[in-house]
Structure 1
């Protein structure tokens, strides 16, 4: 099992409102990176948001030792040869800790960057883009004249003869064209917070498509987590968040995601319909899975809610459906990374490269001082 945490602004106790938002700057990002590294998470997702992911990842690299960096890219926004050079450089400097998350986005977001392709056409372009990417990463000299891309004599110096493998590709997308691109090109297929049964069906669908290319993929999911010592306490924490989801915040988010051509976002929005019922449990889409966060946050809006035992059972249900990788987060990122990292992560079958350090308690310090004769015996 791979477990990654989230690295993206905004953040805070309930960051859809100004009073619930936290100041996010370089110092705070350093805290996050060092915490994830210290706790033993597999990596962090550098998602598209307020900060440029490549600048952010490069800036945090010196503060980590083992953490892998999953960096989001949009095919076509950066020339493929330049992207290859950027990725190869960071892969070299990080000693192989870079992974690339291929995100096709939606028309609204891409339009801000000057890309106006229709939904299905974006995936045709992505197919061409990733075909060139693979050739560059193999160290080939590439001349290509296609429908969307043209390169002449493109070649990367770093991959050719390098002992470090090219960054693996991760990919999310629920439409038929997206699944076709994933089956053909990527290493890990990602989905947003659907139920274990929905994920089982999706994994089977992608597996069939990948088999046509004689390929095998791994599978992952992006979820929130609200974990507390008991199920009751976890649902109380979810209720606390729910009580702070005002009409204005819900309406603003629904305007933002409304009319999207992203099939994944459409599937997330269908879980709650943009409506806040009186009973929080009315948004429980499967046992211990709550879609309420999707009311106020775009993208994956599903949270696992429960005690450590409940969270682990839910993760195991996803495992049984074929999921190997979990990209998780809570609010605020720092505190919830520690909470999950101490209550749940040590009990998961995750390869954790932890420092050789002792765990101290007040009693161990007291016993040490007593044995050294520094404290009087009772």
Structure 2
């Protein structure tokens, strides 16, 4: 059975000029022995800043700005919270498998949540969604303040959660206030790196004279590039396959576009790859042949680091990208009530209502 590494939720929220976002991605996996049962990734404006997996059982910083501004108490709290989520995810996957009557094989259970605000208009938005085996499962409509499920197997949960007006009000407060406060705090922490602009390095690669040509753009920040092809000076969009946006280990991004072309076409025509990023245009004309069947090392590194992010963020052809639930309410005290510190366990994770019963 093929494991689809992609998050399959409705509504792609891309960060654009003036808009900033805080997102958390949780993915539970069962039936795969060499992958963590739970992986957690936190992003600010598409830059990964925290990471957790159930193999290491430790939440760790992924940027210098969060490492320098939060101490041991923060990471202990995050670790404790993510371990609680690990136990909850195992229950949710099992219940979901029973509801879909598929108790064997590889399965994924995903949650996404977060918020965004426009620093020019002051407009805010929040989101939290669930997914199972690559399909939308349940999401919160913040305008209507009600849970909606596109599948019969989750309607039971949606109906139960919609009756909990206290929990819905807490969700509303979190997304409109607490989440935005944390986002603004993180933006201040990382203002120097989050506002940086790095242009891509662009290469035309070909394994052999008979294989497809790959235009590889890497090392750019922020995301939001476009890759296009030209043939003899004219726009060319036939037989083109645009790959997923992938993260590099240093926080920058990469993406590839593959052109299917015969050796004869390549010999008799002039193909150019055009990459546009942050108002700059970079072209690549000279094709470099990559000996053997191995991939360029830059792509390999990006894919390896992307596995940790995509397995959690699941971007189905970036094809999806976004949010989850159970937010990091600005902390949870020992009795489960919210306090002023960043934590997760108070919303759905440590409540029985988060379990799909």
Q: TM-score, normalised by structure 1?
A: 0.23
Q: TM-score normalised to the size of structure 2? A: 0.23
Structure (1/2) with the larger helix percentage: 1
Choose between structure 1 and 2 for higher RCO, CA contacts under 8 A separated by at least 6 residues: 2
